[in-house]
Amino acid sequence: MNIYDIAKKSGVSIATISRVINGGKNVSKKTYDKVLAVIEEEGYTPNVFARGLGLNTMETIGILVSDVADPYYAQMISYLTTKLHNLGLNVLLGCTGNSLENKNRELQMLLDKRVDAIFLAGSSQQELRGNQAIKSAAKKIPVIMVNGRINAPGIINVASNDQEAIYSSVFKLHNSGFSKPLYVFNTYTYSAHQKMAGFKKACSELGKQKAFLRENMLQLPNTLEEMSAAILKLIDADKEFDCVIGSEDMLAIAAQKALKERDLKMPVIGYNNSILAKVSSPTLTSIDNRLEELCSKAVKLFHETTTGSPSSTYVTLDCQLIERDSFRTENNTK
Amino acid sequence: MNIYDIAKKSGVSIATISRVINGGKNVSKKTYDKVLAVIEEEGYTPNVFARGLGLNTMETIGILVSDVADPYYAQMISYLTTKLHNLGLNVLLGCTGNSLENKNRELQMLLDKRVDAIFLAGSSQQELRGNQAIKSAAKKIPVIMVNGRINAPGIINVASNDQEAIYSSVFKLHNSGFSKPLYVFNTYTYSAHQKMAGFKKACSELGKQKAFLRENMLQLPNTLEEMSAAILKLIDADKEFDCVIGSEDMLAIAAQKALKERDLKMPVIGYNNSILAKVSSPTLTSIDNRLEELCSKAVKLFHETTTGSPSSTYVTLDCQLIERDSFRTENNTK
DNA sequence: CTGAAAGCGCTAACAT
DNA sequence: ATGTTAGCGCTTTCAG
């Protein structure tokens, strides 16, 4: 059942059918109704390939993410997909893992499918330098980096202010009497670097020496068990710290588990305010990077590109500390 | 840059270019190399729309899910996407929420995009009866239900044996001395019904009366806080139960939280063996429905449809109890 | 308001 | 081994 069949059944030309399909401008109400009736009756839907061929778009957006199974990214994909869908756009999903080779291959696959734009979910999609493939993609279609930053023409960046968030958390802990923070992290993404920079800056302003940073910034392994084990080792080696900040909720939870195992109690702060923070016990105080707003903004700026140029190409949102049982500023005594 | 440009630059016809693009059968090595060189040089990629128009496929699969933000579904999407990708297929993602209207609309959107098949992620995609839209979609393209069951031509079902899993868990608890289980759930999906049936069957075989079921099967609200509150209420009303089974990890965790709040200790078993189970404390014993195998099987059976008919259209996988701190069968005394 | 016809870029059957 | 050509189904000028 194609446009010719419908034309025949309706007793009009295919041009008129096309007009009806596309809103019905310049079609008499009578013809319009008649054609629509036939379309409904036959359950006809226009062939997107043919349409795509002529228009060079299939109203499809590509999203690249390292791992949808990660609750934080899952939430991001959920927001993006839903919001894009409200614009009538479908989403092609690409899971890249962390190797550059795979990322580039997935990017190319999306490009080959002629998506209208590409969203990069999280700074794990970007390299610390280079990003050639992404930059050259941005020459052809809009590229929107959600929570990362790549400075090149055609790339829209929407990110939370991670550096400031960690920075001020260190101060909040300090002001509550916890002055020897341990910072745990496990990747070296752009975002991870921002967070570390925040930690270092705060420590330095608080008069910590370099030795302190060496001791109190710990890279953790990949599984929850290994993470906890690494922290236990630290505890048992009598390393000095009186509170913990994790670069992601999972790391903070690993710390909570280790502390619990040694019957230790101290403030713990996570990052992302993911579902894990609510589930953990004690419930985890976590830095919320306002993911939904981030996604809304990203989609909005992308949408602006479809009608002109975006009102901004670099947006930063401040984070917010969501206080739960693992640390409350009001309990400001040690 | 299209196939004509490449043909011109290579000094051959577009047919030859097409052959080279599609594997190079019936092309002399010399021409093949020359053409490939030009293609690389120009960074040419065939237009998928034109290709799709002729072949009536764009090598794209649609996946429908109620909510990617749910860690369990996120994991499922992750497996499916990756495995499909290994077959050279791209994934169009549709988030439907739970209203039938939305589900049908999303289904239609995917159908309109001429996907080669549709995967339904989780039984939340199916209604308890009806499913007309899905059944009629299955007349046109393969429909693969992952963890649900719709009995109609063209629909491939791959599901875990939820009924048996709950059934045997009740017995395991019983054999360990816990004979008054509380079952908490919150939806009425197909899968939820299976689980309930398992609970009822076990209870009935253990000689429980109908009154027991009325008291010991509790539907919980939607947020973690509300869930816990509901269970607290039960505890405070002195309802009798000595262990808890949740239809999903989140519900079991809500129970754990409520119990902790009243300083109560009893076995708790969750369902899905999601990341939440590992994060919870005590770590949550959970029923693993072997999601990865489920997804592998689903993709495999779908793949078989591309070359003939699937070796099976209804596969059931047995679940496995992953024992963690919230309940271990070896501690079989009350 | 409506129709005729060109063109979007590719594949595949048919010739050579 | 290579070229010619007829579609695939739609949108969009351009005429009328």
Q: Which of A275, A276, A292, A299 to mutate to test the interface with B (most CBs of B within 10 A)?
A: A275
Cβ–Cβ below 8 Å for A71 and B68: no
Cβ–Cβ below 8 Å for B48 and A114: yes
**B51: which nucleotide lies closest, measuring CA to C1'?**
C10
* Tens-digit pLDDT profile for residues B132-151: 999 999 999 999 999 999 99
Bridge-based pairing state of the strands B60-65 and B90-95: parallel
Give the separation between CA B71 and CA A71, rounded to whole angstroms: 6
Q: Pick out residues 179-208 of chain B having their CB under 7 A from any atom of nucleic acid strand C.
A: none
**A31: which nucleotide lies closest, measuring CA to C1'?**
C1
Which residues, 6 or more positions from A101, have their beta carbon under 8 angstroms from its beta carbon?
none
* Tens-digit pLDDT profile for residues B32-53: 999 999 999 999 999 999 999 9
pLDDT at residue B330 in the model: 79
Beta carbons within 10 angstroms of residue B23's beta carbon: 9
Residue A333 has pLDDT above 80, yes or no: no
Place of tokens 């090595």: B29
- Sheet order of strands, A314-317 included: A314-317, A155-160, A143-146, A117-121, A60-65, A90-95, B90-95, B60-65, B117-121, B143-146, B155-160, B314-317
Average pLDDT of chain A is 96
* Tens-digit pLDDT profile for residues B8-17: 999 999 999 9
Give the separation between CA B144 and CA B9, rounded to whole angstroms: 45
Cβ–Cβ below 8 Å for B49 and A52: yes
Cβ–Cβ below 8 Å for B60 and A92: yes
Distance spanning both ends of chain A, measured CA to CA: 74
Give the separation between CA A119 and CA A124, rounded to whole angstroms: 12
Chain B contact present for A53, CB below 8 A: yes
| Residue in chain A nearest B48 by alpha carbon | A113
Q: Which of A69, A81, A280 sits opposite B93 (nearest CB)?
A: A81
The pLDDT-based confidence of B249 (bands split at 50, 70, 90) is: very high
pLDDT at residue B334 in the model: 46
Residue B116 CA to nucleotide C16 C1', Å? 37
* Tens-digit pLDDT profile for residues B222-245: 999 999 999 999 999 999 999 999
Give the separation between CA B318 and CA B289, rounded to whole angstroms: 7
Mean per-residue pLDDT, A265-288:
97
Cβ–Cβ below 8 Å for B281 and A278: no
Residue B333 has pLDDT above 60, yes or no: no
* Tens-digit pLDDT profile for residues B74-96: 999 999 999 999 999 999 999 99
pLDDT at residue A330 in the model: 79
**B54: which nucleotide lies closest, measuring CA to C1'?**
D8
Cβ–Cβ below 8 Å for A250 and B279: yes
Q: Which of B279, B283, B291, B324 to mutate to test the interface with A (most CBs of A within 10 A)?
A: B279
Q: Which of B45, B69, B279 sits opposite A276 (nearest CB)?
A: B279
8 Å CB contact between A69 and A125: no
8 Å CB contact between B155 and B134: yes
Bridge partners of A314, per DSSP, are A157
The helix-helix angle for B29-42 and B3-10 (nearest 10°) equals 120
Residue A331 has pLDDT above 70, yes or no: no
Q: Which of A56, A93, A110 sits opposite B81 (nearest CB)?
A: A93
pLDDT at residue B331 in the model: 62
The distance of A206 to chain B (nearest Cα, Å) reads: 33
Residue A329 has pLDDT above 90, yes or no: no
Residue A332 has pLDDT above 90, yes or no: no
Place of tokens 């599901």: B159
Q: What is the 3-state secondary structure (H, E, C) of chain A?
A: CCHHHHHHHHCCCHHHHHHHHCCCCCCCHHHHHHHHHHHHHHCCCCCHHHHHHHHCCCCEEEEEECCCCCHHHHHHHHHHHHHHHHCCCEEEEEECCCCHHHHHHHHHHHHHCCCCEEEEECHHHCCCCCCHHHHHHHCCCCEEEECCCCCCCCEEEEEECHHHHHHHHHHHHHHCCCCCEEEEECCCCHHHHHHHHHHHHHHHHCCCCHHHHHHHEEECCCCHHHHHHHHHHHHHCCCCCCEEEECCHHHHHHHHHHHHHCCCCCCEEEECCCHHHHHCCCCCEEEECCHHHHHHHHHHHHHHHCCCCCCCCEEEECCEEECECCECCCCCCC
How far CA A84 is from CA of A25, A38, A91, A300, B34, in Å, comes to 26, 31, 8, 9, 42
pLDDT at residue A44 in the model: 96
pLDDT at residue A98 in the model: 94
Cβ–Cβ below 8 Å for A90 and B92: yes
Find and give the residue nearest to D9, measured CA to C1'.
A50
pLDDT at residue B89 in the model: 96
- Residue A94 dihedral angles phi and psi, to the nearest 5°: -125, 125
> What count of CB pairs under 8 Å joins A to B?
140
Percent of chain B at pLDDT above 70? 99
The distance of B322 to chain A (nearest Cα, Å) reads: 16
The helix-helix angle for A14-21 and A29-42 (nearest 10°) equals 90
Q: Which of B57, B68, B106, B272 to mutate to test the interface with A (most CBs of A within 10 A)?
A: B68
Cβ–Cβ below 8 Å for B114 and A276: no
**B44: which nucleotide lies closest, measuring CA to C1'?**
C9
pLDDT at residue A334 in the model: 46
Q: Taking the CA atoms of chain B, what radius of gyration do you get in angstroms?
A: 26
Q: Write out which nucleotides of chain D lie closer than 7 A to a protein Cβ.
A: 1-5, 7-13
Average pLDDT of chain B is 96
Cβ–Cβ below 8 Å for B68 and A60: no
Q: What torsion do the CA atoms of B63, B66, B72, B76 make, to the nearest 10 degrees? A: 0
Residue A54 CA to nucleotide C7 C1', Å? 8
Footprint of strand D on the protein (CB under 7 A): A 2-4, 14-15, 17-19, 21-22, 44, 46-47, 49-51, 53-55; B 11-16, 19, 26-28, 30-32, 50, 53-54, 56
Residue B198 CA to nucleotide C16 C1', Å? 71
